[in-house]
Amino acid sequence: ELDEDDEEQLAEEEMLEGLAVDEVAKALHAVFKTHGTLFAPAFHGVVPVAVKYLHERDPAARQWAICVFDDLVEFTGPASSQYAGDFLEPVTQALRDQSAPDLRQAAAYGVGVMAQFGGDAYADFVVSAALPALLEIISRPDAREEDNVYATDNAVSAIAKILRFYGSKLSDARALLQTWFGALPVTHDEDEVPSVYEYLVQVVAEQPDALVPNGDAQMLRHLVKVVVSALAAFDFVPALAQALIALMQNSMQALDASAKAELWAEISPEQQQALQAKGLF
């Protein structure tokens, strides 16, 4: 049994180890981002350490390791699949970890980069194993509570990437698209916002009936509220901002005067003020 001094020393050692691990993760990220596949041979020496951390009890240690493998996939693409056997099962477990939202977030982000950058090597895992877990994340009753919202945003973003890059491998892409649409908006993770809303604009342009079948008024209202939420909360590059504004305006025009008034009443005063400050209303 540890006495008070031992506990303090252990806590200090864990804190210092955590800081060191975080610095290593940042360094690996920078090297991967700069050198990509050229760094892969040197990374081989890091793999045993990263795998060890994948199986630690401490969620922060597992999160660190998953972030390292996320970077591996993002910056080396299909070449990363040689290590897939080391990290796919821990990613699945992390997606379903009920006690560590940050761990779920890192795993969800990783699934997104697998879909976007990993190619066919990851398709079966993403569609069969990871996607059901992502759907569990976005459907939690507490999905939008403060502790969970970043994991939820990353899961929503990952599903968009699955639809975009693995759509042909899905048994019912249209149903998944509607589920994804219902989980919008992305509200907090600024890194995921651009790709999510680029995809939304793309879907409406290419499959106008997929999200709002037969001009369904309820779906139109949801679409407007999603776009309003995005425009009020985030700054977009001009081209995407203009596309979202046009989408909002076109959707509003499809509603009658009564529905428009009801919709405007449902938009929070803070969002109204943000839109007015940006000259959008």
Segment 151-165, tens digit of pLDDT:
999 999 999 999 999
Residues 247-266 have pLDDT tens digits of 999 998 988 888 888 888 88
DSSP letters spanning 130-156: IHHHHHHHHH-TTTTSTTTHHHHHHHH
The answer to whether position 118 is within a domain reads: yes
Contact predicate 137/152, CB 8 Å? yes
Six-digit token string for 156 = 């929503």
Does one domain contain both 12 and 140? yes
Does one domain contain both 164 and 196? no
Does one domain contain both 221 and 159? no
Does one domain contain both 2 and 103? yes
Quickly state the pLDDT bin for 134 (edges 50, 70, 90): very high
Does one domain contain both 100 and 212? no
* Structural domains in the chain (count): 2
The pLDDT of residue 149: 98
**Last residue in a domain, options 118, 144, 170:** 170
List the domain range (segments joined by +) for residue 125: 1-170
- Decide: pTM greater than 0.75: yes
Q: Average pLDDT in the 84-107 region? A: 97
Does one domain contain both 211 and 77? no
The answer to whether position 151 is within a domain reads: yes
Quickly state the pLDDT bin for 19 (edges 50, 70, 90): very low
> Which H or E element spans position 106?
helix 101-117
Of residues 179 and 279, more confidence is placed in: 179
The pLDDT of residue 37: 86
Q: Average pLDDT in the 224-236 region? A: 95
Provide the strand spans (E) within the chain: none
- Return the axis-axis angle of helices 84-95 and 47-54, rounded to nearest 10°: 30
Least confident of 28-42, 223-237, 263-277: 28-42
- Assess whether pLDDT exceeds 60 at residue 14: no
Provide the strand spans (E) within 29-122: none
The pLDDT of residue 20: 56
The pLDDT of residue 66: 96
Does one domain contain both 200 and 264? yes
The answer to whether position 127 is within a domain reads: yes
Does one domain contain both 102 and 238? no
Q: CATH no. for residue 9?
A: 1.25.10.10
- Assess whether pLDDT exceeds 50 at residue 146: yes
- Assess whether pLDDT exceeds 80 at residue 15: no
Residues 167-194 have pLDDT tens digits of 999 999 999 999 999 999 999 999 999 9
Does one domain contain both 34 and 106? yes
Q: Average pLDDT in the 56-76 region? A: 93
Does one domain contain both 162 and 59? yes
The pLDDT of residue 277: 87
Does one domain contain both 107 and 81? yes
The answer to whether position 178 is within a domain reads: no
Q: Average pLDDT in the 31-52 region? A: 86
The answer to whether position 182 is within a domain reads: no
Contact predicate 153/191, CB 8 Å? no
- Assess whether pLDDT exceeds 90 at residue 222: yes
The answer to whether position 20 is within a domain reads: yes
Quickly state the pLDDT bin for 7 (edges 50, 70, 90): low
Does one domain contain both 147 and 217? no
Of residues 219 and 8, more confidence is placed in: 219
Six-digit token string for 16 = 């210092």
Q: What is the mean pLDDT of the chain?
A: 90
Q: Average pLDDT in the 114-138 region? A: 98
